[in-house]
Structure 1
Amino acid sequence: MFWYKNLSHQSGGQMWQGPKQVGQKWQDFKHIFAGSDQVIYAIKNDGTLLMYKHVGQENGNFSWDGAPKQAGSGWESFKHVFGGTDGLIYAIEQDGTLFLYHNKKHAQFDAAWEAPKKVGNGWESFKHVFGGTDGLIYAIEQDGTLLLYYNKKHAQFDAAWEAPKKVGNGWEDFKHVFGGGSDGVVYAIRQDGTLCWYKNVQHANFGGRWEGPEQVGNGWAGFKHVFGGPNGIIYAVSTRCLNLHFKILTEPNFDRLEMVTAAREVFNRLLINIDIRSTEILDLPNLEQLDVGPCNKGILTNDIKTLFGNRRNVNPNEVVAYFVDSLLPSASNLIGCAVHPFNQPGFVLTKEQDNRWTLAHELGHVLGLRHPEENINKVRADLMEPKPAVINSSPYFEDKEKQTILSSNLIIQY
């Protein structure tokens, strides 16, 4: 899951932070939506409701309040589910019945539910439904009509509706539509991936006078789930993922998480999640000093063949990073090597590293990238420099490299 923040969300500008990967394994959820107080709710296909707290929300840090908490069950049949304010959740059944739920302990990152209340019917035909602030709900009909509803008693966990108002039309072709968290902001994603910004300047008075649309981004077509948080924050779950496993023969002298963060920084630009699927300690002392020969594609030493046969709990289209003491022959001074047997994708890193980009560099090799040709006029860092230690700023991919990566069968499409 990616985190974005529009620093100019109140004016419809394009001052963005992100994307930053802040979560993994979110692709399988049926519904995901934000509550208040850093809480994010997610519904599994079996109806289990999980509750997460993103304590790194403000700055996009990969930081969560422990493990998710199971907050309920039986949520699998809802057609639309979205958050209100102060622990409220609205849920629409397939037959159009609208229910209101209240989690009294959302602020304590816990679950204590009031009995749900039936607060409406006839909601089954809407294409998109999402919450605004302070009891407002937007609903888009199949013909693109945008309606605004106001629940005057939302703060009392009850329902007293104003008659809905038509506040727009032409909204039928959007792929995703969601509230921007405050100030009447609404975001809408076109089928071509264009991200549009709207602002209802009369939302506080239950009106519908709009500023926008303003185009504030592109490339948003590939997301499975997109939803808004507070203060210009947007969460988006990509359909692209690379699964990575760690197999450790020698514990490295560097922070593995720092290298993973660096790799995510690079690959997230292609909307690729890097998910760490497992970590395993291997007791293979004879391979801790690993003979990789010349480390050239197609030349496999017996050490490489033996080591890469250790793929327990790893699928064929998943990558393994092996951590060893050193690589032989020692005269080569190698600190990483991505030569691997057919259908056993992976790479090796030594315990001593002099740059945070080495893991991303070797991962690039596994995905089919080569070292770049010499170019004295190079104006930006290339991830595939033969010596990653020379990279002193966040590297980029060239266009041909992007095409190679995205065509790899190791990039899983959900």
Structure 2
Amino acid sequence: MLVAFTYAVAAAANADTPVYAVQQNGDMLFYKHAGDTNGSASWPIQAANIGNGWDFRQVFAGDAGSVYAVAQNGDMLFYKHAGYETGSADWPVQATKIGNGWDFRQVFAGDNGAIYAITRNGDMLFYQHAGFRDGSADWPIQAVKIGSGWNFRQVFAGSEGAIYAVTQSGDMLFYKHAGYETGSADWPIQAVKIGNGWDFRQVFAGDNGAIYAITQNGDMLFYQHAGFRDGSADWPIQAVKIGSGWNFKEVFAGGR
């Protein structure tokens, strides 16, 4: 019984979602959301300043503390945030150039080094960054076209190949990318409508179905998508307000 209890506590501790916010002045703030499984407004770490000078075209996070920044000239820079569990400003790898030519409409990360890039004409390209743990410029898969017609307001990835697209009308569409580890254009589920009214400033995902939405007035809402594996419109938690004042240039979650 003691072993089971200890395991449960450890699992709960590891379940917290790191959330990063980039201010207008380029400072990066760190938040830790402990309520990512139940929608509670539990933030054991809030607004810890972990860096400055984040004046990039786009910033996003992958797994295990990997943070990517796309510079204005299209260079891709890699940062390793070793403090993604504690909120400490611990960056053993900073601003390492791992690529160039990232002149895309949007770039975001999936699991295990999967990187998706959407071109200006709506094509989706797949990259595999094998160096997501150490910052090496190791790209075994680069610029493989895995789809077209991705002309959405916003696209982002969840766990295990879950891809979400928000249309101009606010509908939420679900895609399952079974090729997120190989780069194959394998989409067993495509464009399944799982919701509407997603008229938010920004939407992004944590792990295991956690979805965060920031309203126009800066409120943060939490959703739990239980159908992140099969594409079902199963939302046991919807639009729970878990914070306010999220008026940042960019907000995104890190993976574990």
For the aligned pair, the TM-score class normalised by the smaller chain equals 0.7 to 0.9
Q: Which of 107, 130, 143 is the aligned partner of 2:169?
A: 143
Instruction: Report Cα offsets for 1:47-70 as digits up to 9, x if no partner.
Output: 010000000110100110143210
Residues 96 and 122 of structure 1 are in contact (CA less than 8 Å); yes or no, is this contact kept in structure 2? Answer: yes
Does 2:68 correspond to 1:41?
yes
**In structure 2, distance between residues paired with 1:230 and 1:154:** 15
Query: In the alignment, which residue of structure 2 is the partner of 1:246?
Result: none
Corresponding residue number in structure 1 for 2:92: 65
Q: Which of 106, 125, 136 is residue 80 of structure 1 equivalent to?
A: 106
Question: 1 CA distance for matches of 2:220 and 2:147?
Answer: 31
2:81–2:93 contact (8 Å) kept in structure 1 = no
How far is 1:197 from its partner?
Answer: 0.1
Q: Matches of residues 89-238 of structure 1 in structure 2 within 5 Å?
A: 89-113=115-139, 114-124=141-151, 126-161=152-187, 162-172=189-199, 174-180=200-206, 182-210=207-235, 211-220=237-246, 222-230=247-255
Report the CA distance shift for 1:138/1:168 in structure 2 as closer, same or farther (over 3 A): same
**1:2/1:228 CA distance change after superposition, 3 Å:** same
Comparing 43-52 and 4-13, the one that deviates more:
4-13
- The answer on whether the counterparts of 2:78 and 2:94 sit within 8 Å (CA) in structure 1 is no
Deviation at 1:107, TM superposition (A): 2.5
Answering whether residue 39 of structure 2 is matched by residue 12 of structure 1, we say yes
4+ runs deviating over 6 angstroms: none
> Any idea what the Cα deviations from partners look like across 1:202-233, whole Å, max 9, x if unmatched?
2122222112110000011x2001101136xx
Distance between the aligned counterparts of 1:6 and 1:88, measured in 2?
24
Q: C-alpha separation between the residues in 2 aligned to 1:184 and 1:123?
A: 22
8 Å CA contact retained: 1:102, 1:116: no
- For the residue of structure 2 that corresponds to 1:105, the secondary structure is coil
Q: Give the one of 21, 44, 58 matched to 2:49.
A: 21
The structure whose residues are more often strand, as a share, is: 2
1:328-351 per-residue CA deviation (whole Å, 9 max, x = no partner) reads xxxxxxxxxxxxxxxxxxxxxxxx
Letter of the 1:25 counterpart: G
Contact 2:80 2:135 in 1 (8 A): yes
Structure with the bigger percentage of helix? 1
Cα separation, 2, equivalents of 1:67 and 1:191:
32
Which deviates more from structure 2 when the two are superposed, residues 60-69 or residues 209-218?
A: 60-69
Instruction: Give, as a single letter, the amino acid of the residue that structure 2 aligns with 1:43.
Output: V
- Give the partner amino acid of 2:99: G
RMSD of equivalent CA atoms: 1.2
Q: Equivalents in 1 of 2:119, 2:60: separation in Å?
A: 17
Q: Give the TM-score of the pair, scaled to structure 2.
A: 0.85
Tell me which residue corresponds to 2:30.
3
Size of the aligned set, in residue pairs, is 225
Distance 1:63 1:105 in 2: 19
| SS state at 1:25 partner | coil
Taking the aligned partners of 1:156 and 1:70, their CA distance within structure 2 comes to 24
Cα pair 2:75 2:101 within 8 Å, conserved: yes
CA–CA separation in structure 2 for the residues paired with 1:156 and 1:219:
40
Q: Counterparts of 2:93 and 2:58 in 1: how far apart (Å)?
A: 21
The structure with the larger Rg is 1
